[in-house]
């Protein structure tokens, strides 16, 4: 009997009320909203989110959207920059779809009223970000994600064919013999279970940043979608490639607030505590090197100087530019007594984005019939080993739309397998402090599965997480925190195993015991449920 089977019981779906929809979308970030709008062209859509619909990783995205719309720029140049950043593991057909269809999707957003920043002549303003060869990032101040989700949410909430269920947690996908029929959902307000039957299901639940002690991600980013698809039998690909954003606010007691890549794109400098610029000694691109290069350089500088952080210096950019481009960052720092026009900002890297995820094709298909994935939870092949700055919102737009359109093309199954038994968490009397468990988990991942890795610590982390899985069962599974930590444990062991398998350093994956890039690893890692249950 497997570990999962020993600690999971079953629910007979015949005892659970049923909702029926044409397409079920899980998640309310840019990918989920885009999927819902596209699917609504074919039939009714139910969008389920575990929090309020405005709470997602997308909402917190600051920098902007990379898109080849600037004068003189081309999709081919955008493609080349993306492939270069991906360290050999991008799928070129996926990147081509991203950069070409991205133009259409962004123009659509403009038509819908998204307030991107404009130049005095009325044209869209473009900025520079790391590893881009041109100024191609469009933005809405330093809260681009919030502006985009606001536009998309307005259209979703006013669409007659889309219904939104907030504060509903997806416990498990309804699947049988390689086919998905919807999801088992828990109403977090009233504690009631609900089964949702659908012709197509799109998982767009975002990332896993909260798996780490230091992260830019909001509390909703607990990796639920990866765990759901893994339990349903989907392939998880390249889960070792966790991107650590180089610059997050580092103050005791303060949240690890993201200091956007766009700040360095506009000319900010990174300084050590002696006030010296250090990036030029690590890369000819200086502060505009790819994120993995900058993150590792900062950690090396911290190690060499014995400091806890480095500093980001905007002072030379001038008050006018700072006020116009970075009002949110300025206001947040001011809350902690930092005037970014006069003071440097203490920063260090934090977990930010998962480049890997649920393996999909170009239409978002997962390999499980009727099940699709889009956005950060998906591995489309766009990002490779290291995501190019500001490609994430573009990917969510393009592949969310593709997945929603494809899911909408399915007809309802002729027979829903009502006798199917779905695994859910077993309730039992056990004295566990879930908050302490969470603190222990995020400390473990930060230490052993962080920026710098080695085989000994990765193996130890995987063994520890699998041990915790045996007894970490909340007293009542009808609670969001308990469900989330179960998913986080599942995802943590997958990230550890994936990082252990890749015996090289490439992109965001840095092995101290295998410091070089190895051409034999110019391929993907793939893991399924069966790989842990042999």
Residues 6+ away with beta carbon under 8 Å from 25: 32, 35, 36, 39, 45, 46, 47, 48, 201, 202, 204, 404
Query: What pLDDT shows up at residue 6?
Result: 37
pTM of the model as a whole: 0.93
Residue whose C-alpha is closest to residue 28's, from 59, 56, 62: 56
**Location of structure tokens 């390249």:** 238
pLDDT of residue 416: 64
**The tokens of 57 are what?**
């990783």
Three-class SS of residue 244? Answer: strand
Q: What is the mean pLDDT of residues 283-290?
A: 91
pLDDT at residue 23 in the model: 98
The domains of the chain are located at 246-351, 426-523
From 96, 210, 237, 291, active-site residue:
291
pLDDT, tens digit, for every residue of 235-251? 999 999 999 999 999 99
Our answer to whether residue 365 is catalytic in this structure is no
Contact residues for 122 (Cβ-Cβ < 8 A; gap 6+): none
Q: What is the pLDDT of residue 352?
A: 95
What mean pLDDT is reported for the chain?
Answer: 92
Region 502-513: mean pLDDT is 97
Residue 286 CB coordination number (10 Å): 18
Q: How confident is the model at residue 130 (pLDDT cuts 50, 70, 90)?
A: confident
| pLDDT of 4 above 70 | no
Phi, psi at 290, each rounded to 5°: -55, 155
Give the pLDDT band of residue 274 (cuts 50, 70, 90): very high
CA atoms within 13 A of residue 528's CA, in its CB half-sphere = 10
User: Domain 426-523 belongs to what topology?
Assistant: Methane Monooxygenase Hydroxylase; Chain G, domain 1 (1.20.58)
Q: Which two tokens stand for residue 33?
A: 């909203």
Mean pLDDT, rounded, for 351-378 = 98
How confident is the model over 53-85, as pLDDT tens digits?
999 999 998 889 999 999 999 999 999 999 999
Count of beta carbons in the 10 Å neighbourhood of residue 428 = 13
What's the CATH number for 246-351?
A: 3.90.700.10
Residue appearing with tokens 């968490």: 425
More confident residue, 12 or 406: 406
DSSP labels, 471-495: H---S-SSSHHHHHHHHHHHHHHHH
pLDDT at position 477 is 54
Read off φ and ψ for residue 82, nearest 5 degrees. -65, -45
Predicted pLDDT at 191: 87
Closest CA to 455 of 500, 414, 419: 500
Q: What is the mean pLDDT of residues 316-345?
A: 95
CA–CA separation, 453 vs 3, rounded Å? 27
pLDDT value of position 10: 53
pLDDT value, residue 3: 34
DSSP designation for 254: S
By mean pLDDT, which of 114-128, 169-183, 220-234, 249-263 is the weakest? Answer: 249-263
């Amino acid at each position: 009997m497997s570990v999962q089977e020993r600690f999971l019981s079953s629910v007979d779906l015949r005892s659970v009320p049923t909702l029926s929809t044409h397409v079920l979308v899980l998640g309310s970030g840019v990918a989920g909203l885009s999927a819902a709008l596209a699917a609504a062209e074919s039939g009714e859509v139910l969008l389920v989110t575990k929090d309020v619909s405005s709470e997602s990783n997308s909402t917190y995205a600051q920098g902007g959207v990379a898109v080849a719309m600037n004068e003189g720029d081309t999709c081919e140049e955008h493609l080349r920059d993306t492939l270069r950043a991906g360290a050999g593991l991008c799928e070129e057909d996926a990147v081509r779809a991203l950069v070409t269809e991205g133009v259409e999707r962004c123009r659509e957003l403009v038509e819908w009223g998204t307030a991107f920043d404009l130049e005095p002549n009325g044209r869209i303003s473009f900025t520079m970000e790391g590893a881009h060869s041109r100024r191609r990032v469009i933005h809405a101040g330093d809260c681009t994600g919030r502006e985009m989700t606001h536009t998309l949410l307005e259209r979703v909430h006013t669409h007659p064919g889309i219904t939104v269920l907030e504060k509903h947690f997806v416990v498990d996908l309804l699947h049988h013999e390689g086919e998905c029929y919807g999801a088992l959902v828990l109403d977090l307000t009233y504690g009631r279970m609900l089964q949702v039957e659908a012709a197509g299901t799109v998982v767009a639940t975002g990332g896993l940043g909260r798996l780490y002690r230091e992260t830019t991600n909001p509390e909703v980013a607990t990796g639920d979608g990866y765990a759901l698809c893994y339990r349903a039998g989907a392939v998880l690909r390249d889960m070792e490639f966790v991107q650590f954003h180089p610059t997050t606010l580092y103050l005791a007691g303060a949240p690890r607030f993201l200091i956007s890549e766009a700040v360095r794109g506009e000319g900010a400098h990174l300084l050590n505590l002696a006030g010296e610029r250090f990036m030029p000694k690590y890369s000819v691109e200086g502060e505009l090197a790819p994120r993995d290069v900058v993150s590792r350089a900062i950690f090396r500088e911290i190690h060499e100087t014995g400091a806890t952080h480095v500093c980001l210096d905007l002072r030379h950019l001038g008050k006018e530019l700072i006020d116009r481009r970075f009002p949110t960052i300025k206001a947040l720092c001011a809350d902690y007594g930092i005037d970014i026009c006069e003071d440097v900002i203490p920063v260090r890297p934090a977990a930010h984005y998962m480049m890997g995820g649920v393996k999909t094709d170009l239409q978002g298909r997962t390999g499980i019939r009727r099940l699709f994935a889009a956005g950060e939870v998906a591995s489309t092949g766009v990002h490779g080993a290291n995501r190019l700055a500001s490609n994430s919102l573009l990917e969510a737009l393009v592949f969310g739309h593709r997945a929603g359109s494809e899911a909408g093309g399915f007809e309802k199954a002729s027979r829903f397998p009502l006798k199917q038994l779905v695994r859910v968490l077993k309730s039992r009397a056990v004295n566990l402090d879930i908050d302490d468990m969470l603190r222990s988990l995020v400390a473990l991942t930060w230490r052993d599965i962080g920026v710098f890795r080695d085989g000994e610590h990765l193996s130890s982390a995987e063994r520890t997480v699998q041990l915790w899985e045996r007894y970490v069962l909340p007293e009542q599974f009808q609670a969001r925190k308990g469900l989330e930590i179960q998913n986080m444990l599942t995802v943590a062991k997958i990230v550890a195993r994936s990082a252990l398998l890749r015996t090289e350093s490439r992109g965001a994956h840095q092995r101290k015991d295998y410091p070089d890039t190895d051409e034999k690893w110019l391929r993907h890692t793939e893991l399924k449920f069966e790989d842990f249950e042999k």
